[in-house]
Structures are given as C-alpha cells and as structure tokens.
Amino acid sequence: MSKQSKNKITPIKQPQTSAVTQSDFGIKYPVLWLMLVVVIVYSTSLYFGFTELDDSIFVRDFRAFNEQWSNVFNSFTRGVFDPKNDTYYRPIFLISMILNYQMSGEEVMGYHAVNILFHMMNVALVYRFFRELKFKQLTAFLLAMIFAIHPALSQAVAWIPGRNDTLMSVFVLTYFICSIRFTKGNGIKWLIGAIVALLLALFTKETAIFAPFALCVILLLLFDVEWKSKRLVGQVLLWVGAVAIYLIARASASMKHEAIDWVSVFHGFFTKIPIIWQYLGKIFLPFNLSVFPIQQDTSNVYGIVAIVLIIALLLWSKHRDKRTIIAGFLLFFVFILPLLILPDKINQQTFEHRLYLPIIGILMVLSQSALFTRPKEDKSLVLIVGALVVFLGIINYHHQQYFKDPLTFWTQAEETSPHSAYAVMMYGARVEDKQLGYAMMRRAYQLNPNEKYLNYYYGVMLQNQDSVLESEKYFLKEQKTSDYYECDFYLAQVSHKKQDNLGAAKHLERYLTRDSMNSPANNNLLLLYLEMHEKQKSLHQIEAMKHRGFSIPQQLIQQANQLP
C-alpha cells in the first residue's frame, strides 16, 4: 500500500438495512419533519413552571449574576452553584443561562423554549451523524425520530438544567461529524471545527472528556482507519491539547478542588454495575421512569428483559454488521462510565437525562437488529417503527407532565424513589397537608439525617410548630454542611426569641448579602435597627430599601430620624 493510500480514509461497506434500495422510499426534507415532531411532542413543556430542583436557583437566585454581561468571562473562573464551595465546573452552561436571561429575564417559558431548541439541534445532528456512518436515509431518519421522542430523554428537555446534557451533546455530535469528515480526507476547516467543538463540550460538562475515546471507537471500527495514520495521530495530539486546556482552566478556577478517593471510586464502580441494565431497561421498556431515580428503587426486571430482547432482536436479524453492533455498545458504555465512577457524596441519583448521549450507541445497535433488517419493504419498516414512535410519544407526553410544577414533580419523585431522603424531604416541604408534611420530614430524617437541606427543612418544620429554640441546632448543622443562606433568616428569629437583637441583626445582614430583594428580611432588619436605637444603620437600611424599590411606611422613616 502506498503512502498516499494509507492516509486516504475510505468508509467500510455498511450493511443494507432493508431488502430494497434507497430510491424505493426517499424522504424529502427529513430534518424539517424531525423538527416538527419535536415541536409537537414538547410544545406543552413551554407552559411548565419550575420543579424546584436547581432550576429556580439558576433563574431566580442567580438573577444578579445573570444580569451582568461580564459574568460570561467570570463563568470560566468559578463553580456552578457557588464561586468557591462547589465541585462542578460548567462555564458554558452558566453562559447559556446568562444569554437566556438577557432574552427572557425570569420568564420561565423562555428557558423551556431554549431547551426545546437545543433538542431540535441534537435531533438534526443525530440524523447527520448516522448519515456520516453511511446508514440509509430511511434508517437514519427513523432512528433520529426515536431519539426525538424517546421518553427516557424527556427530562433533558422538560427540566431546565437538563440542558447540560443537550448542550454538551450538540458539541459532541458536532465534534464527531467534523472529525469523521476530516479523517475521510476533507479540508483543515473540519479539523478546526472538531477541536473547537471538543473544547466547548468539555467546558459544558466534564463527561465530554470521554468523547475522544468514543470517537476512536467509531473511527477504528467503522472506517478503514489505521491507528498510525497521520490524520488520526495528528487529531489525537490536538485532542490531548484540548483536554489539557480544559484541565488547566478548571484547576485555575476558584471552585473547590477535592482529592479523588480512588478506593471509594473502585468500590462504587462495582456496586453501580446494575445501573447499566437499569438504563437499558428504561431505553427498551420505558415504563418505570422517574423524575428523581435512585439505584435502590429502580427495578432490575426491566433491564434483564431488555437484555434478552436485545439478544433476540440481534440473533433474529439478517445481515447484521458486527462492527456496528460492537461500536454501538462501546459508545453506550463509554458515556455511561462517568456515572459508574461518580462518588456517592457528590450525587446518588441515576438521572435519566444522562442517557442523552449513551442512547445514540444503542440506536446504532438497533439499526442492526431484526426491527430494521427483517422487513422486506421500506413501507413495512415505516409502519412498524411509526407505530413504535407513536407509542413512545404517548409515554413521553404522559411522563413530561411530572415536570410542570414542584408539587407534581416531588410527588412522583417520592412515589418512585421512596428510599431517597431528598425526594421524601422535598415532597414533605410542598405537600398541602401539614401533618403529612411533618411525617415526611421525620421519615426523611430517619433515612439520612445528613441529607443536604434536610436539617434546614426540619428546622422550618419546628418553627412552624412554634418550637423556635429547638430549631436552632438544625439550622446551625445545615449551615455547617451546606452553608445554605436561608438558614440565616430563621436563625435571626431564634436570636430574636432569645432577645439577642444584635445576633438577629447579624444573621439578617448576612442573609441580605445573598438575597438582597427579600422583603421580610429587609423589613425585619430595619425594625431591629430601630428597636436597638441604631440611627445610622436605620437610615442606611432605609436608603438601601428605597434603592431596591421597597416602599417604607412614613412613620418608620420619622422614627429613624428622631433617634438620638
């Protein structure tokens, strides 16, 4: 083989996925049809509110951050939830929220609309990716259609923070497509596009660090690429450089940097292996979906049935291509791997939005199954897969409704994950029946007394029961573990109950540095200053409240001016 032929990359011959030729069933404007399906399936999510799982934090609590254009650059120097006390580093996500805020402010519909837009982009890219793999147009179209409406992916679209995965997928799929085209022999612009896309993916979510491994699987298995070819070796060197840039930027940020406990990671990996077939169960039999799933409460039965179903469909298949099957499974496992090595202290949830990229690998496997290879005519294939798409769409629509408001969301979370202290706690905090809410808080405390925010909610429950002094230890414990700023508001009430006005004022002052627009906190602080005869602080608080747009009773202003 000549040097020139070694560097020229030619796609391998892909198996035909039906018994008729491509020309027998052409689709005009396939991407437009895919976009239309996404709009139909997800249009109702435009009218959803918050779930109170992180979404309100990024929209309401981050108001001051999102207002400043300068924070587009500051996003690269901090953690997601907190500039310093956070282990998540996702600057592109923060930038997306800043840009979204500039367009729609705190109007939640604007954020849902952008989420749908990201999903539409991904559906188009999935279709394009399958075409780059030389799948027939009809096969690529139907697989992209399944991706567009699959209910296991609805969390990534209907839940605002789910855009972490959809946005990362936009960049990862772009990276795949650009790299494949460059490897085939196309111009340098495709290489530049691939590196830029990889960098954007890395700065969106840390799991993109596995994307180069997935791409190597695709190039080595599905194309005649020699591992020593100049185009591949050159790309790998640039990929390493992109990852190095990301790691340096992450290390330079002000966020919390914790040493990795490899013993815990190794132990956790083996205890989390059942998650693999649990996820497969949700892909093939999406009947046990949850808005807040945990491994303990997710059935393994669906996963076992799914594995049997996969094997049966592959064995019954005609002309299946083994390399496509292997590449698909490896793609799935590569993108599932981050969840298996994620420490429990960071996150114990097996969220379904994490299937957004892995499911693409399973769709590749599905293309070689009997579902796509057995029908003798393309029309038969369209009818079979069309019926499946309608069925999945109905399940999707039903599951989406759990994201429409906090009570609906956390009711379903508690029902499907009864062993999750967090789900039980959040449901108890929102249920209308106070006695049931208190019972849920006690149950959550029995499940895990150290659950984040649980001591805060437990303290609020006690204050609502007029046990103000008893609540203090719970708020102090929550402050120590999570530094949740709302604790200061209630600790101020504890101090006031103790007749410690100075302590109450300090708590409210600290609280207002985190939420300056809270009306009760502003009013209470002013009343405390007046009660303490602090004239200068009273006048300063009055001016601050005026600046924030609060109306102040004239008698309070007069009382402040009359202080000695």
Instruction: Answer yes or no: is 14 within a domain.
Output: no
Query: Which comes out higher in pLDDT, residue 342 or 13?
Result: 342
Instruction: Answer yes or no: is 120 within a domain.
Output: yes
pLDDT of residue 275: 94
pLDDT at 187 over 80: yes
pLDDT at 20 over 50: no
DSSP string computed for 182-213: HHTT--HHHHHHHHHHHHHHHHH-GGGGGHHH
pLDDT of residue 16: 40
Mean predicted confidence (pLDDT) in 29-52: 96
Rounded CA separation 145/30 (Å): 10
Total number of domains constituting the chain: 1
pLDDT of residue 10: 42
Query: Which comes out higher in pLDDT, residue 85 or 3?
Result: 85
Contact in structure between 361 and 335 (CB atoms under 8 Å): yes
Instruction: Answer yes or no: is 506 within a domain.
Output: no
Q: Return mean pLDDT, the chain.
A: 91
pLDDT band for position 345 (cuts 50, 70, 90) = low
Mean predicted confidence (pLDDT) in 102-120: 96
- Residues in CB range of 546: below 8 A, 6 or more apart: 552
| Percent of the chain whose pLDDT exceeds 90 | 80
pLDDT in tens, 434-480: 899 999 999 999 999 999 899 999 999 999 999 999 999 999 999 99
Instruction: Answer yes or no: is 425 within a domain.
Output: no
Mean predicted confidence (pLDDT) in 383-393: 95
pLDDT of residue 12: 38
- Residues in CB range of 457: below 8 A, 6 or more apart: 425, 428, 429, 441, 444
Query: Which comes out higher in pLDDT, residue 442 or 20?
Result: 442
Query: Which comes out higher in pLDDT, residue 318 or 527?
Result: 527
Mean predicted confidence (pLDDT) in 91-111: 96
Mean predicted confidence (pLDDT) in 49-63: 93
pLDDT in tens, 240-275: 999 999 999 999 998 777 666 667 777 778 889 999
pLDDT in tens, 202-213: 999 999 999 999
Rounded CA separation 475/457 (Å): 9
pLDDT of residue 267: 72
Lowest mean pLDDT among 8-22, 143-157, 484-498: 8-22
Instruction: Answer yes or no: is 10 within a domain.
Output: no
For residue 530 the two structure tokens come to: 């007046």
Instruction: Answer yes or no: is 323 within a domain.
Output: yes
Lowest mean pLDDT among 11-15, 79-83, 465-469, 541-545: 11-15
Distances (CA, A) of 246 to 75, 170, 199, 206: 13, 18, 7, 9
Coil, strand, or helix at residue 346?
A: coil
Distances (CA, A) of 169 to 262, 297, 331: 28, 28, 13
Mean predicted confidence (pLDDT) in 156-165: 97
CB atoms within 10 A of CB 562: 8
Query: Which comes out higher in pLDDT, residue 52 or 16?
Result: 52
Confidence (pTM) = 0.88
Q: What kind and span of H or E run contains 59?
A: none
pLDDT at 185 over 80: yes
- Residues in CB range of 229: below 8 A, 6 or more apart: 6, 7, 9
pLDDT in tens, 79-89: 998 888 788 89
Find the farthest-apart pair of alpha carbons in the chain and give their distance in angstroms, rounded: 97
Distances (CA, A) of 524 to 465, 497, 501, 549: 21, 13, 11, 16
The Cβ-side half-sphere exposure at 127, using a 13 Å CA radius, reads 22
Instruction: Answer yes or no: is 535 within a domain.
Output: no
Instruction: Answer yes or no: is 376 within a domain.
Output: yes
Mean predicted confidence (pLDDT) in 137-153: 97
pLDDT of residue 344: 66
pLDDT in tens, 492-520: 999 999 999 999 999 999 999 988 889 99
pLDDT at 132 over 70: yes
pLDDT of residue 18: 37
pLDDT of residue 243: 95
pLDDT band for position 22 (cuts 50, 70, 90) = very low
pLDDT band for position 25 (cuts 50, 70, 90) = low
pLDDT at 6 over 50: no
- Residues in CB range of 387: below 8 A, 6 or more apart: none
Mean predicted confidence (pLDDT) in 422-445: 93
Q: What is the DSSP letter of 349?
A: B
The Cβ-side half-sphere exposure at 363, using a 13 Å CA radius, reads 25
pLDDT band for position 135 (cuts 50, 70, 90) = very high
Contact in structure between 368 and 314 (CB atoms under 8 Å): yes
Which residue, among 495, 547, 545, has the nearest Cα to 521 in the 3D structure? 545
Mark out the alpha helices in 187-299 (DSSP H runs). Answer: 188-204, 211-222, 230-252, 262-271, 274-284
pLDDT at 2 over 70: no
pLDDT of residue 242: 95
Domain that holds residue 370: 23-256+263-403
pLDDT band for position 112 (cuts 50, 70, 90) = very high
